[in-house]
Structure 1
Amino acid sequence: MLWTKRKTLYSIGISVTILFLFIFTRKKYPNSVPPWPTSNNIVIYNRIPKTGSTTFTNAIAYDLYKENGFNVLHVNMTKNRQVMSLPDQYVFINNVTTWTERLPAFYHGHVAYIDFTRFGVANPIYINIIREPLERLLSHYYFLRYGDNFRVGLKRSRAGNNETFDECYSRGGKDCDMKQMWMQIPYFCGHYHFCTEVGSAEALKMAKQNALEKYLLVGTTDRMRDMIALLEVTVPHFFKGALGHFDQLDENRAHLRYTKKKIPPNEQTLSMIRRDEVYKMEREFYDFVRDLFDAVFKKATNGTSRAADLTKMPLQYHFEKIKPT
């Protein structure tokens, strides 16, 4: 009889403990699957060189961080590498998701897309900007020779070399090789071995998939203002007031960094480049992202395509028949 009572009390104790743990867990994680607590407090802008990234980072992130209460951190890759080893990816993810003293955080740097979910962690908010691939390459080519208006006194690696892009292309020079154009696809493809293989169809496919599924928003250089407007209404805890701030900047701040001298290529060079497979793939990716952004922007503005309308747009949904829980 005594044993039966003890057994009953023991069972009740276990049941109460389980019930307590269940209630505690439900209160802490109401969706039953515990969300990664920092994912929406981290924005990663894995910026691509010569796409307007300096303007965006300085005129938006560094100007707004105090007002909106977030931290800006630069990811500086050793020797300008774009990819990390698998162990380095783990350390990076662990650092940015557990460094609570620096949350919320806006990370930016020239680094390929890192998939946090491969390590069992929710992805942060990814954003990026891309540029028409030949325009980007031309800007980079002449930047190496003439520099820009951002760091005027800094001598660039090709300073004194006045060879035009046409001349370089006609002799098959390294700086104008189409391998140098294979840039935006690898940044979006990520850290798989095929991402850096020039002309890889698999890399193009992965880049499109990531741009579509892993990034909140990818804009284009020529529509930076539209992107800023969208970010303000979709990530307000980082970008509140961003459009108004951008619009009141003077011309030098709104176009913070531009190459001092660029010579457009002639029609013969253009014709040859347009037939190149690498250019065709990079252009295909650019067109894909541009069309995706355009569709998102038109939907958000209800067809007006005016950035200023975004903050005034009424909700396109409402709730009905709300029942008590």
Structure 2
Amino acid sequence: MAWGPLLPRLRGVGALALLLVLAVLLMAYTAHQQVRQPSRRGGDQVFDARHVAEHQTRHVLFFNRVPKCGSEMLVLLLQWLQARNGFRHMRLKNTVKRYLTFDQQAALVEEIGERVQESTEPRVSFDRHVYFTNFTSYGFKMPIYLNLVRDPVEKMASRFYYARATPRPGAATPPGYTSPAPPHYTSLEECLRYQDPECTFLTGHHYDLTIPYFCGHEDFCRELNNEAALSLAKRRVEAWYPVVGVLEKVNATLAVLQHHLPHYFAGVLDLYHNDLLGK
């Protein structure tokens, strides 16, 4: 199945510095704990340049947003840039579900494919909080993937306080979804001191942390300190993400985006400083 006149081209493999930063962040998060031997090692294939060139299109950008890493800022910039750079940005339905079954992944891919076909612009970008999805498993070319990461401790603190301060009335919930119980503690320090489950992370347990957004929907991708999950996430970043930004280095991130993805991000630095920051 194709998305119109898609011409696969080998995109640049730049932004190596940011890719290395991602690897360091992911490894640093697990370095202080014992890494257990994984029970599954799915997805060990190597993605070479020819494979990427044949299976990725430059006409579709997918920002599968890691939560609490500055993604709303980047979405706003994409919305501002779409008219001047000749593409269309579409926000996929907001949902609490980031881990998808095989059929749910198929529905996501088909929705994106349909929207691409309906668009009158030559390029389209999308965003949603969702784990890495392999489009080729459903007969589609891979989009250009994009994401942002941040210091894991800062990310955890941001998520902790966001859950207490911000209601989510627009979030779609799947059938049978049960809302979590109200939080016991109002401060992160208390939560950590009393080892509340919300602030306790155990090796081998499943969590919605950073790695699944690059690893995928396989069960082992959500296991804390799973070596196979980290390995697969790094390989998928190297293959499918020309840029992974770092929130703490937003200026460098935007400069790399502007250079390596100019069809989408040309002029983003000026827009960020002059319009968003008002400087």
State the TM bucket, normalised to the shorter chain: 0.5 to 0.7
Aligned-residue CA RMSD (Å): 3.2
Alignment map for 1:249-288 (pairs within 5 Å): 249-251=275-277
Q: Is the 8 A contact 1:126 1:215 kept in 2?
A: yes
Match of 1:64 among 81, 84, 88: 81
Q: Which residue pairs with 1:45 in the alignment?
A: 63
More helix by share: 1
Calculate the TM-score normalised by the size of structure 2: 0.67
For the residue of structure 1 that corresponds to 2:244, the secondary structure is strand
Q: Which residue pairs with 2:45 in the alignment?
A: none
Q: Which residue pairs with 1:173 in the alignment?
A: 196
Alignment map for 1:72-87 (pairs within 5 Å): 72-76=89-93, 78=95, 80-87=96-103
Deviation at 1:76, TM superposition (A): 2.5
Deviation at 1:241, TM superposition (A): 1.1
For the residue of structure 1 that corresponds to 2:155, the secondary structure is helix
Deviation at 1:133, TM superposition (A): 0.7
Match of 1:129 among 145, 148, 156: 148
Q: Take 1:93 and 1:244, find their aligned partners in 2: how far apart are those partners?
A: 33
Q: Take 1:160 and 1:82, find their aligned partners in 2: how far apart are those partners?
A: 21
Q: Take 1:203 and 1:38, find their aligned partners in 2: how far apart are those partners?
A: 22
Deviations 1:248-271 (A, max 9, x none): 1354x79xxxxxxxxxxxxxxxxx
Q: Take 1:147 and 1:94, find their aligned partners in 2: how far apart are those partners?
A: 31
Q: Which letter maps to 2:158? A: S
1:219 matches 2:245: yes
For the residue of structure 1 that corresponds to 2:79, the secondary structure is helix
For the residue of structure 2 that corresponds to 1:128, the secondary structure is strand
More strand by share: 2
Alignment map for 1:290-301 (pairs within 5 Å): none
Calculate the TM-score normalised by the size of structure 1: 0.58
- Runs in 1 of length 4+ with deviation above 4 angstroms? 35-38, 157-162, 179-182
Q: Which letter maps to 1:43? A: L
Structure 1 residues 92 and 144: alpha-carbon distance in aligned structure 2, compared to 1, 3 A threshold:
closer
Alignment map for 1:106-255 (pairs within 5 Å): 106-147=125-166, 163-178=186-201, 182-251=208-277
Structure 1 residues 97 and 181: alpha-carbon distance in aligned structure 2, compared to 1, 3 A threshold:
closer
Structure 1 residues 159 and 69: alpha-carbon distance in aligned structure 2, compared to 1, 3 A threshold:
farther
Quick check: which has more Rg, 1 or 2? 1
Q: Is the 8 A contact 1:144 1:158 kept in 2?
A: no
Q: Is the 8 A contact 1:39 1:125 kept in 2?
A: yes
Q: Is the 8 A contact 2:68 2:159 kept in 1?
A: yes
Structure 1 residues 189 and 250: alpha-carbon distance in aligned structure 2, compared to 1, 3 A threshold:
closer
Q: Which letter maps to 2:106? A: Y
Q: Which residue pairs with 1:264 in the alignment?
A: none
Counting matched residue pairs gives: 213
Q: Is the 8 A contact 2:62 2:145 kept in 1?
A: yes
Q: Structure 1: which 5+ residue stretches go unaligned? A: 1-27, 149-156, 255-325
Q: Which letter maps to 2:87? A: F
Q: Which residue pairs with 1:55 in the alignment?
A: 73
Deviations 1:222-270 (A, max 9, x none): 112212111212222211111111121354x79xxxxxxxxxxxxxxxx
Q: Is the 8 A contact 1:137 1:181 kept in 2?
A: no
Q: Is the 8 A contact 2:131 2:216 kept in 1?
A: yes
Deviations 1:131-174 (A, max 9, x none): 111110011112223449xxxxxxxx999976321211121113
Structure showing greater relative contact order (alpha-carbon pairs closer than 8 Å, 6 or more residues apart): 2
Q: Take 1:161 and 1:95, find their aligned partners in 2: how far apart are those partners?
A: 38
Structure 1 residues 37 and 135: alpha-carbon distance in aligned structure 2, compared to 1, 3 A threshold:
closer
Structure 1 residues 162 and 168: alpha-carbon distance in aligned structure 2, compared to 1, 3 A threshold:
closer
Percent of matched pairs sharing the same residue: 26
